Chains A and B, each alone.
Chain A
Amino acid sequence: MFLRLLWESFVRQRRRKLLAGIAILFGTTAVTAMLALATTIGDRIHKELAVYGANIVVYPKAEQLAVKVGGVDIKPATGNAYLKESDLSKLKTIFWANNINGISPELPLQLKHVFPDGTTPISAVGLWFHHPLGSGAATITTGASELHPSWKLNGSWPTSKEEAVIGSSLSNRLNLRTGDNLPVIAANTQNLHITGTVSTGDENDEKLLLPLATAQFLNNTPDAVSRVEVSARTKPEDSFARTDPDTLSPKQREIWYCRPYANSISYQIREVIPGAAAEQIRKVEQTEGTVLARISGLMWLISIAALLAASFAVSAAMATAILERRGEIGLMRSLGASKASIALLFYAESGLLALFAGVLGYLFGSGLAAWLGAHIFAGSGVPAIAVSTLPATSIFIPVLLPVVVATALIVAIAGSTPSIRSALKMDPSSVLRANA
């Protein structure tokens, strides 16, 4: 009987059910989309912020004092300490390895451009270009080209040891263009083929950009790198992040270690790479942290506001939907139905509606969020990264399903309650008379 009543109510009152159902559907769609966007906004904005470059720098601890003005080494130090390039794969073994999304080692060196009748000095730097790092599924393709999306390349990045790209100012000064050959000499000699011109907007415009292996060969320092830039997804710094881990109790230290602060990632880098000092680049890290926190904070607060607003609006819709049916309640009461069974019927109706519309809304909302995200953040960063790090699983966030459906249930039931109660309180005969 109960099931039949429930079924008939859905079949015969399609218009009423439809309106309340649509209200819940829209509410859950909007809330799902907002929450889904809010949970992924951190990653998306982080990708946008990648233009500001690395947020952690690794250098050899025993390095001499750099004498640099405006990015130009005034007194290139001799007998420098180096890090080992072969150690860099260890970066993908630290606790927060998955948060490291870009690594760019560099080895600066001075070259001489060989003419038939003499030589000119050239500053050069050895870099990675589209370099694979890590093993298995965790492999990332990274390097200077990935870490600096604001660099504008005219041509193509070097793919072999004999190729190089040239900074735009240097290209103008030496009158060298893409396709030219450039014999250079340092500790060793090499004939380089220029595959592109790059405009970086900083001191690298004055440099020749070589593959790291070529720079190591020319400099006669195999496996050497003098500085590594690391781009990592970090948690904005708070006062706990600034504490020195060695002064903490073991338990606190464990917590500190297991949070993706720039400081703890640097600490873990120092642990795995012998002789390395690692530090956050404060200009990037501190500001990115605030910008990230502000934008995702805004999204969360708006999502909460949306949740509240949708809840109020949907409860109002539910309340009216039940009020409308006081006549039915009066009829059931006069036919001998108990208050409890009537309440149960109406709650079951609301619940079923909320469940159905909630699940549908979750599906629509997830799709909508993915669509919005893809459109708003189209072409952010390097396309290859954007595609590979946004798999299909990011469209559906399973955690949101129970959250959204439970919210829909609570809102629908809470919205119906006052109306059901007031309808049950009334004398059935007067209700029926009023409606007769």
Chain B
Amino acid sequence: MSEPSTPGQYHPASKLSLVRILRRSLVHRRARSISALVALTVSAGVATALLTLYADLDNKLHKEFRSFGANIVVTATANAVLPPDTLSKVQQAAGPAALTAPFAYAVATTDTGTSVVVSGTDFAAVRRLNSWWQVSNWPDPSGQPSPALLGQRAANFIGDEHSVKLTFASKSVTLNGTGRLKTGGDEDSRIYMPLEAFTAWTGVTPSVIEVQISGGTAAIDTALAQLKQALPGVQVQPVRQLVEGESRIVDRTHALMYAALLLIALTVGVSVLATLSASVLERRRDFALMKALGGTQIHLMSIFLFEALILALAGVFVGFVIGSAAAFAISEINFHTATLPRLSVMPLVLLLNLAIALLAAFFPARVLRGLQPAALLKGE
């Protein structure tokens, strides 16, 4: 191991090419090279993992917030109904990715004489929009006619859940309750049925359309403006606490990630600096020898620099693979969706690693500059 550093190995007559010195230095000082490579790989890996996660964080978080349901509500102004083509206009203005669900309301009387709010809606849309609805059994679209969902409190006021008889303006209808609905909110006191059947029975058309825009505050603001423009004369309002809370939490998580990124990069950077500079300083004797043999300052510096650069580059390639895998694993464990490797973080990682490596090579090189070769070689 110490053999190549024995001065006798380098025959003065043979040409000392830079490539050869580098190769020998890396191969024969294996333990040290591996230490430095591990450190540089870790720094590149951490940077890759965090940057990849950071770039994907917005999407991931906004997706989680979508389970709060609608973020825009379109309602008719007091004592009016929404024009019949509103739903298609809303869908058109909000874009095809937006989820929309219409709601129409009427107060009917059950067979036990209790007043109950009955709502006509699109079950398929509601199921996607309001994921917090706990429904024992969603109606099967191809199943029995006139299905209904009974709110858990409303169900207490109904005699037979499979044959719910309701009366509205002396017109009666019999619904087949397929399941119970539990939300902990006003929905618990209502009965939900398909919109077509509801309108055919009561003649009431939707008064509320709930819209869910995917994306952050900017996307919601754009959609709001478009909806307001497309639908004059109706109220278009954001669900305020939802929109505000979401952007605050996303911003804060972002800041937190950013702080973590800097903190870890700094930590790893300092360790890499310690590792590399120790391995450079240790070779004061080689340095002195080369200087004594006539190596110029630039020549010697370039040896250190190239060595550091090779290690840094190798670290970036291995680190990128490991870091991408780590980001993928963290994402899969935490968000249950994949985060694919992003080549776009590579330049930044490369830059970071090269900066650390250069710093690590320059720092001891400056210390060495002032040393006298003769004194060093004598062992002082």
Contacts and interface: CB of A to CB of B under 8 A. Distances in A.
B355 interface: no
B157 interface: yes
Nearest to A27: B267
Interface stretch (A98-106, A175-183, A308-316): A308-316
Interface in A316-355: 316-317, 319-321, 323-324
B277 interface: yes
B64 A290 contact: yes
Nearest to B68: A287
Contacts, number: 248
Contact of B263 (A34, A41, A66, A422): A34
Nearest to A293: B334
A44 B172 CA distance: 52
Nearest to B49: A305
Q: How large is the interface on A (under 10, 10 to 19, 20 to 34, 35 or more residues)?
A: 35 or more
Interface stretch (A3-11, A46-54, A131-139, A253-261): A46-54
Contacts of B241: 51-53, 148, 150, 201
Contacts of A391: none
Contact of B31 (A29, A52, A68, A319): A319
Contact of B107 (A37, A67, A323): A67
A426 B3 CA distance: 13
Given A65-B157, A317-B274, A376-B255, A282 B245 contact: no
A97 B272 CA distance: 49
Nearest to B268: A313
B206 interface: no
A240 B173 CA distance: 40
Interface stretch (A16-24, A153-161, A189-197, A209-217): A16-24
A355 B60 CA distance: 40
A305 B326 contact: yes
Contacts of B264: 30, 34, 305-306, 309-310
Interface in B312-330: 326, 330
A45 B248 CA distance: 10
Interface string A254-277: 000000000000000000000000
Contacts of B130: 283
A317 B271 contact: yes
Contacts of A248: none
A282 B32 contact: no
B153 interface: yes
Interface stretch (A86-94, A113-121, A395-403, A428-436): A428-436
Contacts of A315: 38
Interface in A66-101: 66-71, 74-75
Interface in B178-207: 182-186, 189
A305 B5 CA distance: 38
Interface stretch (A122-130, A218-226, A296-304, A382-390): A296-304
Given A41-B256, A312-B42, A317-B275, A67 B31 contact: no
Interface of A: 16, 19-20, 22-23, 26-27, 29-30, 33-34, 37, 41, 44-45, 48-49, 51-53, 56-57, 64-71, 74-75, 148, 150, 201, 279-283, 285-287, 290-291, 294-295, 297-299, 301-302, 305-306, 309-310, 312-317, 319-321, 323-324, 368, 372, 375-377, 380, 418-419, 422, 426, 430-431, 434-436
Interface of B: 1-2, 5-6, 31-32, 35-36, 38-39, 42-43, 45-46, 49-50, 53, 60-61, 64-65, 67-69, 75, 105, 107, 114-117, 130-134, 153-154, 156-157, 182-186, 189, 208, 237, 239-242, 244-245, 248-249, 252-253, 255-257, 259-260, 263-264, 266-268, 270-275, 277-279, 281-282, 285, 326, 330, 333-335, 379
12 contacts: A16-B278, A19-B273, A49-B249, A65-B154, A67-B189, A68-B186, A283-B69, A302-B257, A309-B42, A313-B39, A317-B278, A434-B5
Closest 10 CB pairs of A and B: A313-B271, A201-B240, A434-B2, A51-B245, A150-B241, A317-B274, A281-B184, A30-B267, A316-B39, A320-B278
